[in-house]
């Protein structure tokens, strides 16, 4: 099959026409890597990968991340405790805009998802380009933001969606200490992106009021329609996104519907503080 690319929105997202065998063989690995960096989100239709096949494809793009709750490299994104006992503890935060693992100096390069059970209503995944959000800022605002640092807390993401958390839940959210990152990520490629999302809890050196106003303004700016792509899940889909320049969130859905997607994550290769 020919490698066909169709833009899904002007600033973010492309659908790639390619056969599943070619994906597994790594026939177009370099093209896919370049396209992922350029377009942020790649959609492959009718691929219908098994977990093992998704891991095999992921290995053509980079090293796979393995976690304590998913030692085999496949994480089940679901509120169904039969498939993910910790889903209700952690995954509530995915309803908010976020970049994965801002508690690390080197966050994951990207992730991929394929659906196993699709929500009958809601449950779409939205992506927002933090590259485009930065690039469209006025020059004066870019200069102002470039020297700022932001404190990121995992708890800030989850606590917005969990009412009356137990002491055990709070302790689990706080097991990773706060992390300070630049507001603007200077990438090795020379591009810059905003490092935002619901984990961004405080701008260092500002009053709480000043910090809240600035972060709210930037989040509102970053959600402008021209920066966002909403993915409507279909059976057989495979969606890959660049975690270093793209925020994402899930649209609310019935948490008892059994919605389940399987995710493979690519290990990070670039420190947020890599470029001065």
* Per-residue model confidence as pLDDT tens digits over 219-248: 999 999 999 999 999 999 999 999 999 999
Q: Mean pLDDT across the stretch 78-102?
A: 89
Contact 125, 249 (CB under 8 A): yes
Which residues have C-beta within 8 Å of that of residue 230, sequence separation ≥ 6? Answer: 124, 125, 126, 127, 251
Q: Band of the pLDDT at 88, cuts 50, 70, 90?
A: confident
161-190, pLDDT tens digit by residue? Answer: 666 666 766 666 667 788 999 999 999 999
Q: Classify residue 275: in a domain, yes or no.
A: no
Q: Classify residue 274: in a domain, yes or no.
A: no
* Residue 225 Cα distances to 9, 10, 95, 142, angstroms: 10, 10, 18, 20
**pLDDT at res. 138:** 97
Lowest pLDDT segment from 2-6, 54-58, 111-115, 224-228: 2-6
The residue whose two tokens read 């975690």 is: 243
Residue 177, domain extent: 4-266
Task: List 266's β-bridge partners, or say none.
Answer: 64, 110
Residue 276 has pLDDT above 60, yes or no: no
**pLDDT at res. 70:** 87
Residue 149 has pLDDT above 80, yes or no: yes
Q: Band of the pLDDT at 104, cuts 50, 70, 90?
A: very high
Dihedral sign, Cα of residue 217, residue 218, residue 221, residue 223: negative
Residue 275 has pLDDT above 60, yes or no: no
Q: Where are the beta strands (DSSP E) in 161-258?
A: 179-182, 184-186, 192-194, 200-203, 228-231, 238-242, 246-250
Q: Classify residue 276: in a domain, yes or no.
A: no
Q: Classify residue 66: in a domain, yes or no.
A: yes
User: How far is Cα 151 from Cα 239, in angstroms, rounded to an integer?
Assistant: 30
Global confidence as pTM: 0.93
Q: Classify residue 43: in a domain, yes or no.
A: yes
CATH of the domain at 186: 3.60.130.10
Q: Classify residue 271: in a domain, yes or no.
A: no
Q: Classify residue 273: in a domain, yes or no.
A: no
Looking at the structure of the chain, the number of domains it has is: 1
Six-digit token pair at 191?
A: 């591009």
Q: Classify residue 241: in a domain, yes or no.
A: yes
């Amino acid at each position: 099959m020919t490698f066909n690319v169709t833009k899904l929105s002007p600033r973010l997202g492309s659908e790639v026409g390619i056969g599943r065998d070619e994906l597994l063989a790594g026939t177009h690995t370099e093209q896919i890597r370049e396209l992922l960096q350029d377009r942020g989100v790649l959609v492959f239709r009718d691929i219908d990968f098994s977990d093992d096949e998704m891991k095999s494809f992921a290995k053509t793009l980079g090293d796979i991340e393995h976690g304590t709750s998913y030692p085999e490299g496949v994480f089940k994104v679901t509120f169904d405790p039969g498939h993910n006992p910790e889903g209700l503890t952690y995954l509530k935060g995915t309803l908010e805009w976020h970049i994965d693992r801002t508690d690390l100096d080197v966050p994951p390069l990207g992730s991929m998802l394929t659906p196993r059970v699709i929500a009958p209503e809601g449950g779409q995944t939205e992506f927002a380009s933090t590259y485009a959000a930065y690039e469209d800022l006025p020059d004066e605002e870019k200069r102002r933001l470039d020297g700022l640092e932001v404190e990121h807390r995992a708890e800030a993401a989850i606590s917005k969606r969990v009412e009356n958390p137990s002491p055990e839940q709070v302790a689990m959210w706080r097991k990773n200490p706060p992390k300070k990152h630049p507001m603007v990520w200077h990438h090795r490629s020379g591009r810059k992106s905003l490092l935002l999302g619901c984990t961004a809890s405080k701008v260092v050196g500002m009053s709480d009021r000043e910090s809240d106003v600035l972060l709210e303004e930037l989040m509102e700016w970053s959600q402008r329609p021209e920066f966002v792509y909403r993915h409507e899940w279909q059976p057989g889909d495979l969606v890959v996104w660049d975690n270093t320049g793209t925020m994402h969130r899930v649209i609310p859905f019935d948490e008892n519907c059994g919605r389940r997607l399987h995710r493979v994550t690519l290990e990070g290769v670039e420190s947020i503080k890599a470029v001065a």
